[in-house]
Chain A
């Protein structure tokens, strides 16, 4: 899932200072699951912004709407009836959602209310951790199902650096050393030997480095 975090209130307020009517759009997918931009967060931010305005003696008119998925134009269409009643749109979706909305309503300023963080999994209630970088050329098959690209601070593909101690990464004892995890996993699978194979330099074209990516399924397109 894509994870995100609400932006500091001041930043959002700066965006919308000039306006008095905004449309606050949530998304019922990832950002709901990671409690950043679902119906509830929309409600909270709405109150927060209105109060911040009141405090300045201004009135902010907020329309709240949470779409099933902000990254699909069909859902974004649901905003059409409201768009003329507002001066600006604030989206609580991930970057994809924000851009879909911005694309649909060229004449309206659209602002992000959350920082899109990473593709992650929830470790427990309220804790999410990065798991994938979308490098476009998955190596998990070689690394025992643990991704060194996303989970090693130096995305080393051939083993841990000298900074690995007690299974933790040198950058921060809170962070697991991905290679410790990989090694343990390889052992439990009894395939330590595969480690001896040198993983050749990675072809980063499949990743962001190859420029914005696109998937086309002719059969569906």
Chain B
């Protein structure tokens, strides 16, 4: 009974997620290009990746930075959520505005931010220059040090609203009487936040973090449009590397190995986050 209800969804995931993943796994142990027959080469790709490919390590590092920064956005979102949660007048409007950037197409977001960062006519440089903070325009997307943060900021701008909504839902799930009781016992606001809000918010925060992890590859379009991984490999993420290795260099076999590694990495991260969130959060999305 449950089986036949699950079937349609599972079929789709089997066809478009699991089967391809299997294909990648299989391919990662072979030497193959579109018109050549595959031949088994064992762990060669993995050896090359781990021992002989500094770009992989750079991309891995960037990906981890990308994910590692999401807590900042989550905190910001949490602050906003707390502000608009309670009976604040016009909270609904604030909520809408903050969320407004999430429905945007990532490609478009990339174009928009590339334009904001523009050296001559970009808003950001213009503000900084007319405020006299800098004399020379900053080349955000062309500088080795600023490119990655710049992309991350653009990503924050897009997902902040989504985080906020998730956290809001979590907040509203917290029974009010707990606060009442605490207030009666004269527990100060900070303590109430630390001992009631945060613990009960764990699942929502976990979900935000999962979204943050997913961002490390759903932001492909963003990086692709804004920097395409450059300068050097300063904004190379695993996902852009996978794409380049596959379609740019026609090394689908190597790309497959990268995919498998990224998958395992994300699984581990998610598992850890889940543990941190106090177990079974997985079965409690939003």
Report whether chain A binds chain B: no
Which chain A residues have a beta carbon within 8 Å of chain B's beta carbons?
A: none
Which chain B residues have a beta carbon within 8 Å of chain A's beta carbons?
A: none
